[in-house]
Structure 1
Amino acid sequence: MTVTPARPKYVGGAVPRREDPRLLLGRGRYVADIALPGTVSLAVLRSPVPHARITRIDTSAALAAEGVLAVLTFDDIRAEVTPLPCIDVYPDTRPALQTVLADGVVRYVGEPVAALVATDDYLAEDALDLIEVDYQELPAVADLERAVAPDAPLLYPEFGGNVVNTVHQDVGDPDESFATAEHVYQETFTIHRYAPVPMETRGVVADLDPITDRLVLYTSTQFPHLVRQFLSGVLSLPESGIRVVAPDVGGGFGGKCEFYPEEVLAPLLTRRLRRPVKWIEDRREHLVAASHAREQRHRVSAAVAADGTVTALDVESWTNNGAAFCTLATTPASISSAMTRGPYRIPNYRARAHTVVTNKTPLAVYRGAGHPQAALVMERMMDIIAADLGLDRVELRLRNMLGPAELPNDRGTDIVLAGHVVYDTGDYPESLRRGAELIGYPEFEIERRAALGQGRMLGIGFCCFVEETAIGPYESAVVRVDGAGKVTVLTGSSPHGQGHVTTFSQLVADELDIDIADVTVLHGDTDVVTEGVGTFASRSGAIGGAAARRAAEAVKHKALAIAGHLLEIDPADLEWHDGAARALGSPDTSMSLGQIATAATPWNPPLPGGMDWNLTATYQHQAPGIAFSNATHAAKLEVDPETGQVRVLDYVVVHDCGTVINPMIVEGQVHGGVAQGLGGTFFEELVYDEQARPKTRTLHDYLMPTVGDMPWIRTSHMQSPTPLNPYGIKGAGEGGASGSPGALVNALADALGVTLTSDGPWTPERVLELLPENS
């Protein structure tokens, strides 16, 4: 059998997104759009205090209120549910697991205390006010430093402290390097807390199938198959009795990569009432009840030789986890501790990364999940070292960078759930050189002096990083051909804006050498796609896409075998070309995929050799290791010394995600990530007072960037294919967010001529405070 390699017809091209016309024309179907007959409304009573013992709950008035059908407290469901799962715990982790409703103690403002169902949203919200709860307030703690003090209020007294997990990373002999170092630098960096804020808030609709009595849950999630698994465990139901559907999802960013109490409450209540139950989160709830992001503190020491070579790094970090574990609680600390060295050689390394509970909303993964923090810390240190030694910032980085000949490179660290860190491929120095050239770094000092003469303060900042992508353990795909020769792809990846329909269609169309319009991609329904993992950690193209293409390859081999039988030609004398099996040397003797599919019907005579007529193939792509993308971000910005206003003038990203499936989609992912990094650097902040009461309660308080704040972003693609899948694909979804905070903060520090040890948010008021005349 001869298989001619598929022509690069679609992969690598800027194919327009196939999913967009429907969404742009308002034909999307989100959870809020699902209107089942007889649907009733779920509302959740949330704690107004950060830490308290519940001494009394009286639901009688609410239960008697107009339209109210049911009210639940934890005592009502105690025998039916287990705590919510956390899947990234270490063996010695203290399990600060959250219950579906508060079990006697509340630990953050926004924690669910009771739930009720009424005939409409308004009656449900009104009835919440009738639930009487007596709280005996307890001391609360919000600040990381205070939380780890010996006399800190304890969220879980049985643990004996608020540090619930510590990740250890040890490489080489840091102590020897520090003892003999020419220079030692020490800094403490803070990364503030912010929120994912997707366009669509969370939502669930639970129902019972009228025929099978199976539970059906529509939910705005990034991993419907894992929701099915978690729901099965919490409610002690067989997975076969649960169907989970993720319809259109209006952004996730990690905030929907969690399993939440409402995804249990709605099923509990629909089983009681035998009616569909619906809950849609509002923005006030989102800012206190959905997972938060980023907040860490890093104490960093660097041992540096006289020539600027960094010989050792010692990092101790604390992650403000909030009051309880989310599904992925220790991952931010694990990733930031494993990846702080980024693209730099630094042979000796020690990290201690502590996860700390406080009386804030639980924190979890958010686009980049530890990479932005690690990159900002390392890149700030590089600028600080360069300035002290009088070295050029780019030259210092190049002096310390791993080169292509040093890859693959075992970094000696590990990431929870993902595994051991071995950098696979890349050219980190070339990425930096290209970024410096594109941003105009060689001529920048001339531009800076001219701007100063006009009263303008300019700065350039760089951020170079390596990020873990394409983690496993696997992803599933089914490719099947119908009687008309059209192809359907079922994928366990569940998109929320990434363009799966387009990119998976490109991969499959190229493998089968057919028109992309003949490919349909289905996802997000556990009854349609029976196995899957989900979409997170920049894994979809490399894991889900690889599975889809390998399944298409299997279909092609099966089609060649069937064609050989029907044409009475040895399959070894056939080639696959232009969507057809064709005889070598005789192109007129051929069968198209559609003709093969039409002939391949179960009522035909049996095929020889155990072959079957079914033009369907299933493939699970197992991840043999982690694929590592890399990038250089370069930002040029201007500070107005009169107002403190910062304007980003130019932004360059040199991005390497291995084989690029669709450059337009990669650029869109980069642009979106940069917007989130810019928002966190200059606008977004979740503020708490000293008693752990949130002061940021609406979007009036929580500032978001607009299109007017965004610079023009120029993206340059490098391609260093990974050997970890047959197509060389790495992940691209988080690179924009991972590098932008570091580049922007470095640019701001350069413009102001100050040492910055915080990621912001650098509002105009705070920028003005940094100016020499105001400091």
Structure 2
Amino acid sequence: MAVGLVGTSVRRIEDHRLLTGKACYVADIVLPQMLHMAVVRSTRAHAEIVEIRVDKALAYPGVRLVLTGEDVRHLGPLPCIDLFPDSKPALHRVLALDKVRYVGEPIAVVIADDGYAVEDAAELVEVVYRDLPVVLDLGEAASEAPPALLYPEFDTNVANVCRQEVGDPDAAFTDAAHVFEETFRIHRYAAAPMETRGVVADPTGQGGRITLHTSTQFPHLVRAFLGGVLGIPESDIRVVAPDVGGGFGAKCEFYPEEVISVVAARRLGRPVRWIEGRQEHFVATTHAREQIHTMRAAVDADGIVTAVTLRSLTSNGAAMFTLATTPASISSAMLRGPYRIPNYRAESLSVLTNKTPLAVYRGAGHPQAVLCMELMMDRIARDLGIDRIDLRRRNMLTKGELPSDRGTAIVLAGKVVYDTGDYPGCLDQVLELAGWDDRLRRQAEARGEGRIVGLGVACFVEETAIGPYETGHVRVDGSGKVTVLTGASPHGQGTATAIAQLVAEELQIPIADVTVRHGDTDVVADGVGTFASRGGAIAGAAARLAAHKVREKAVLIASELLEAAAVDVAWVDGRAEIVGVPGRGVTLAEIARRATAWNSLPAGLSSFNLDEVAHHQVPGIAFANAAHVVEVEIDRDTGTVRVLDYAVVHDSGRIINPMIVEGQVHGGIAQGLGGLLMEEIAYDATGRPLVSGFQDYFLPTSAEMPDIRTGFMESPTPLNPYGMKGAGEGGTTGAVGAITGAIADALAPLGIRVAGDGPFTPPAVMALLRARGEGVGA
């Protein structure tokens, strides 16, 4: 019935409910006597708080409560779980106390009877500031004499330093035939999910137990963090992540609104709701990407890269959020990608600036690493007159060299040891899929016609499926239907479908007989969450392991019902049958009914019911890989960059559902394209962000997306019992490097060097063209 279900493109079981308006997001939750919360945010990037006047707000009709930092002074700061032992704990408070450090920092909250009154009352809160110097530039912030110290007690704005070293880079540079140096700049942008953040805190549970509905990627961690900050037992907290309209890492953080809404709700004894506005989102939800990488490469006479050194700066904004050091750690650990490069040194600084805090976003450091490495490979090839594909092949690890200990490590994830893959094979396959030789010929013809056309290539290896563990709980009821409880908390990935496929195949039942539940800490007792492309590989593996335990238990119970030895009972099409006696068997439903406590405990078993839990603990990191090829054209008259064609080959180990993986890759490419060509959160000289909404923060639509041809490879990992790796972030990771490489290739014949990821908006590209005497108005 379900044999061979894994590896098949099954339509997603979640989508009918989502597409027909039957989803339940945080904003859909309405509780009796619910109050509304608005957040008063800083309008200054850096200032002392002289006074907060709340009298007018308290007097406004319908206002129930106003809280400031003084009211929650006793509460600890928000946790950062990836700090290094010598990190500077520049942690974010629930509400600002004494000073503010970025525009958008929460200063006070107002609670009122309805959403209109609360917004009006919040505008009546008056904050008196004494302005302080602002530091926005990364280089200035990291210097020994910065314009301002965000936390004077640390005497530096460098909050964390991540160091990696392999081999002897100094000797390699001494012996190098060629040395290349480049500084790459990666700009700041945001995840901008369809659903902004939101919370509903309900204190009306039995005994004052709190239920927090929140748009998050990790409800179990929110429960732990909330208990820690408030000093209450986790057993007094229930966290529910209902349907989540996109997260991409921005909801893989613990935010002050999740704490202060609970504080207000407990004080008032009534539910409190806060829904983030879109303008608010751009200053209150973590940003992403902004880094500067100064990179040197030592190359021998044959084009072999013998060493690389890196010094990078990451703009972490005004505080170290939940996963603050992860982007710097990943980009430094993974910079070398699929290339041997035996000698390596990296020093990556996480730097405090007067901007919204920065943290993880789809790829979480991988896109920056790929951008730098692939642009450097292109520069080496161009300057040495070596074909860029040939240069990559010369330096690329082969299948026979894996597994490969890279000598680096990723914070929270562990050592970087590439497990399986065929990197040259992946490159060869994407070149064939793209029709590389034909594209080179057509590019030459286009350039002969005066068109600005470029081709880009990006090859990378990516950390996926990290631990430490995930929980799967499978139970069968008396009807034979199966419920799976998973610690994963998906937000659009198709995880429920993938898990249902794995369980249905293990039990050999129709996928329609499997229901997957998640996102509620009272329903799923234990879990980690959804991030780092771990849903299918880690949560799916745990669920299938639990299903396997159910199947083994079912065979033992069936042997009693069939009066046969267990070794003579086989599992066939979702039922137990006596080997060699076709038709003599019992169904899953019959076995489940026998297993209940209404009957005596079946012989040889220690527990009732077809109900089993499994934990999949991860012994290491599973590394996916991919290769992208893209063609772009730049309009000489407008500066518009148009992506003409795209080909990608992705290897994520054993594939559960090819259609889901293809969708993940395509969606990732869209986010990479948008970040490169359109999206930017820029600041003025006073530290005010120049983005207020989608009217000035543009996202790609279907009109900007090219046709994408997708190929797959499968290199099963031994780190997972079913060979699965992750696939959720590779589209973005590869797109950033490939599209930037294509733009650089297009502009190189004009004498324009590209050493950053843009954004390549039409005005920015026109400025580049005019500076070289090209384009309209030059």
TM-score range, shorter-chain basis? over 0.9
The answer (yes or no) to whether the contact 1:68–1:127 under 8 Å persists in 2 is yes
- Of 17, 26, 43, the match for 1:22: 17
Match of 2:143 in 1: 149
Match of 2:698 in 1: 703
The answer (yes or no) to whether the contact 1:491–1:532 under 8 Å persists in 2 is yes
TM superposition shift of 1:297: 0.1
The answer (yes or no) to whether the contact 1:752–1:770 under 8 Å persists in 2 is no
C-alpha distance in structure 2 between counterparts of 1:517 and 1:449, whole Å: 53
Match of 1:91 in 2: 85
Match of 1:270 in 2: 265
AA of the residue aligned to 1:257: C
Residues 385-534 of structure 1: matches in 2 within 5 Å?
385-534=380-529
TM superposition shift of 1:773: 1.7
Q: Could you list the per-position Cα deviations for residues 387-445 of structure 1 after superposition, in whole angstroms to 9, with x for gaps in the alignment?
A: 00111111100100000000000000000000000000000001111112222211223
C-alpha distance in structure 1 between counterparts of 2:445 and 2:496, whole Å: 49
TM superposition shift of 1:453: 4.2
- Of 134, 137, 143, the match for 1:140: 134
Match of 2:163 in 1: 168
Match of 1:773 in 2: 773
Match of 1:757 in 2: 755
C-alpha distance in structure 1 between counterparts of 2:191 and 2:576, whole Å: 49
C-alpha distance in structure 1 between counterparts of 2:540 and 2:204, whole Å: 32
C-alpha distance in structure 2 between counterparts of 1:308 and 1:690, whole Å: 44
The answer (yes or no) to whether the contact 2:595–2:601 under 8 Å persists in 1 is no
Normalising by structure 2, we get a TM-score of 0.98
The answer (yes or no) to whether the contact 2:196–2:277 under 8 Å persists in 1 is yes
Q: Could you list the per-position Cα deviations for residues 57-115 of structure 1 after superposition, in whole angstroms to 9, with x for gaps in the alignment?
A: 12111111111000001111222x21000000000000000100001110000000000
AA of the residue aligned to 1:764: P
AA of the residue aligned to 1:476: T
Residues 182-193 of structure 1: matches in 2 within 5 Å?
182-193=177-188
AA of the residue aligned to 2:100: V
- Of 539, 547, 559, the match for 1:544: 539
The answer (yes or no) to whether the contact 1:343–1:402 under 8 Å persists in 2 is yes
C-alpha distance in structure 2 between counterparts of 1:7 and 1:182, whole Å: 59
- Of 114, 120, 123, the match for 1:120: 114
Q: Could you list the per-position Cα deviations for residues 534-566 of structure 1 after superposition, in whole angstroms to 9, with x for gaps in the alignment?
A: 000001111100000000000000000000111
Match of 2:105 in 1: 111
The answer (yes or no) to whether the contact 1:439–1:636 under 8 Å persists in 2 is no
Q: What secondary structure, in the 3-state scheme, does the structure 2 residue paired with 1:426 have?
A: coil
The answer (yes or no) to whether the contact 1:639–1:751 under 8 Å persists in 2 is yes
Match of 1:229 in 2: 224
C-alpha distance in structure 2 between counterparts of 1:479 and 1:539, whole Å: 19
AA of the residue aligned to 2:595: A
C-alpha distance in structure 1 between counterparts of 2:114 and 2:166, whole Å: 59
Residues 508-657 of structure 1: matches in 2 within 5 Å?
508-657=503-652
C-alpha distance in structure 2 between counterparts of 1:683 and 1:295, whole Å: 15
The answer (yes or no) to whether the contact 1:563–1:596 under 8 Å persists in 2 is yes
C-alpha distance in structure 1 between counterparts of 2:130 and 2:240, whole Å: 40
TM superposition shift of 1:210: 4.1
TM superposition shift of 1:7: 6.5
Q: What secondary structure, in the 3-state scheme, does the structure 2 residue paired with 1:255 have?
A: coil
Q: Could you list the per-position Cα deviations for residues 447-483 of structure 1 after superposition, in whole angstroms to 9, with x for gaps in the alignment?
A: 0132234442221101110010011000001000000
Q: Could you list the per-position Cα deviations for residues 606-656 of structure 1 after superposition, in whole angstroms to 9, with x for gaps in the alignment?
A: 322344331010001000000000000111111111221111111111000
C-alpha distance in structure 1 between counterparts of 2:89 and 2:563, whole Å: 64
Q: Could you list the per-position Cα deviations for residues 570-599 of structure 1 after superposition, in whole angstroms to 9, with x for gaps in the alignment?
A: 101111110011111112211111111122
The answer (yes or no) to whether the contact 2:35–2:111 under 8 Å persists in 1 is yes
Match of 2:58 in 1: 63
AA of the residue aligned to 1:442: D
1:78 matches 2:76: no
Q: What secondary structure, in the 3-state scheme, does the structure 1 residue paired with 2:427 have?
A: helix
C-alpha distance in structure 1 between counterparts of 2:224 and 2:372, whole Å: 37
Number of positions where the alignment pairs a residue of Structure 1 with one of Structure 2 = 769
1:100 matches 2:94: yes
Q: What secondary structure, in the 3-state scheme, does the structure 2 residue paired with 1:586 have?
A: coil
TM superposition shift of 1:768: 2.1
Match of 1:685 in 2: 680
C-alpha distance in structure 1 between counterparts of 2:71 and 2:203, whole Å: 21
The answer (yes or no) to whether the contact 1:562–1:613 under 8 Å persists in 2 is no
C-alpha distance in structure 2 between counterparts of 1:592 and 1:270, whole Å: 50
Root-mean-square deviation over aligned CA pairs: 1.1
The answer (yes or no) to whether the contact 2:204–2:270 under 8 Å persists in 1 is no
C-alpha distance in structure 2 between counterparts of 1:520 and 1:534, whole Å: 18
Q: What secondary structure, in the 3-state scheme, does the structure 2 residue paired with 1:708 have?
A: coil
The answer (yes or no) to whether the contact 2:370–2:734 under 8 Å persists in 1 is yes
TM superposition shift of 1:241: 0.3
Deviates more, 1:546-555 or 1:137-146: 137-146
Match of 1:327 in 2: 322
The answer (yes or no) to whether the contact 2:634–2:641 under 8 Å persists in 1 is yes
Among the aligned pairs, what percent are the same residue?
61
Q: Could you list the per-position Cα deviations for residues 356-411 of structure 1 after superposition, in whole angstroms to 9, with x for gaps in the alignment?
A: 00000000000000000000000000000000011111110010000000000000
The answer (yes or no) to whether the contact 2:2–2:509 under 8 Å persists in 1 is no
The answer (yes or no) to whether the contact 1:143–1:690 under 8 Å persists in 2 is no
C-alpha distance in structure 1 between counterparts of 2:46 and 2:293, whole Å: 27
AA of the residue aligned to 2:358: L
1:729 matches 2:724: yes
The answer (yes or no) to whether the contact 1:340–1:378 under 8 Å persists in 2 is yes
Residues 271-350 of structure 1: matches in 2 within 5 Å?
271-350=266-345
C-alpha distance in structure 1 between counterparts of 2:546 and 2:596, whole Å: 20
1:658 matches 2:653: yes
